[in-house]
């Protein structure tokens, strides 16, 4: 097991680009072109979260993105039969398993792994057989992370909204459970990803404190920043944080 702190990769979630496109029903902005540009500007991965109602990223988008994403394609979602059919057909580098209900506005919690361990283990086995890295979306509870490790998953993704909510008033208290969770996951042989409400305001402190962090997936805040800074400058600022 490596003891060297890993480089943290930036994966840009482009769901909000699809939301904007869908508002007019045409192809502007182009999800495909934004994915290409994000990579050109320095993003090391593209994340999409297709939902059953296709209110933002559509199944067709996922198929179209596969040949265009030459860094890493990360597909998030609840592992329904339809979702699994899609990811096994597209063969992304990573699949992040989230416990969202079909009508969820956004991911609002990680898995309670123990009661779902048999189900998740079967999903992880299918992904592993296909040569696809798996990541399970979890909170910071150590027992839950141990249960995730028992499924055979490659990584966990830490749900960071609790950190983002507390950071403005007590950053040390906000980050402490994530430091413990990151260490525990690493000691169990898991890679560590993180995502949800990370931003230019709170990412540097989070990145500095976590001893093990392989990837952050950032969408909403990054796209909001790009409205003011431009997409290229925004990605550069996020990447600069992750270099330090």
Task: Enter the tokens of residue 155.
Answer: 């990584």
Active site residues: 49, 76, 196
The CA distance from 185 to 104, in Å, is 27
Could you tell me the end-to-end alpha-carbon distance of the chain, in angstroms, rounded to an integer? 23
CB burial readout 57-92, b (16+ within 10 A) else e: bbbebbeebeeebebbbbbbbbbeeebbebbeebeb
CA-nearest of 157, 152, 234 to 199 is 234
The CA distance from 97 to 193, in Å, is 12
Which distant-in-sequence residues (6+ apart) come within 8 Å of 97 by Cβ? 76, 77, 78, 79, 111, 120, 123, 124, 134, 135, 136, 137, 153
């Amino acid at each position: 097991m490596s003891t060297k702190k890993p480089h943290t990769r930036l994966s840009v979630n482009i769901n909000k680009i699809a939301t904007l496109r869908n508002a007019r029903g045409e192809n502007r902005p182009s999800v495909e072109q934004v994915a290409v540009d994000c990579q050109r500007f320095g993003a090391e991965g593209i994340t999409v979260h297709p939902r059953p109602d296709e209110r933002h990223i559509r199944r067709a988008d996922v198929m179209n993105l596969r040949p265009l994403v030459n860094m890493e394609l990360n597909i998030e979602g609840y592992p329904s039969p339809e979702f699994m059919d899609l990811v096994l057909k597209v063969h992304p580098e990573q699949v992040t398993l989230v416990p969202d209900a079909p009508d969820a506005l956004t991911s609002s919690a990680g898995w309670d792994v123990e009661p779902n361990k048999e189900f998740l283990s079967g999903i992880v086995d299918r992904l592993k057989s296909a040569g696809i890295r798996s990541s399970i979306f979890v909170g910071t509870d150590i027992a839950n992370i141990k249960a995730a490790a028992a499924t055979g998953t490659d990584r966990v993704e830490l749900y960071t909204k609790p950190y983002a909510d507390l950071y403005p008033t007590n950053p040390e208290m906000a980050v402490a459970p994530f430091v413990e969770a990151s260490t525990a996951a690493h000691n169990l042989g898991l890679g560590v990803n993180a995502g949800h409400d990370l931003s230019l305001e709170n990412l540097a402190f989070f990145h500095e404190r976590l001893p093990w962090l392989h990837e952050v997936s950032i969408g909403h805040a990054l796209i909001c920043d790009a409205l003011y800074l431009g997409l290229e400058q925004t990605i550069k600022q996020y990447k600069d944080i992750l270099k330090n």
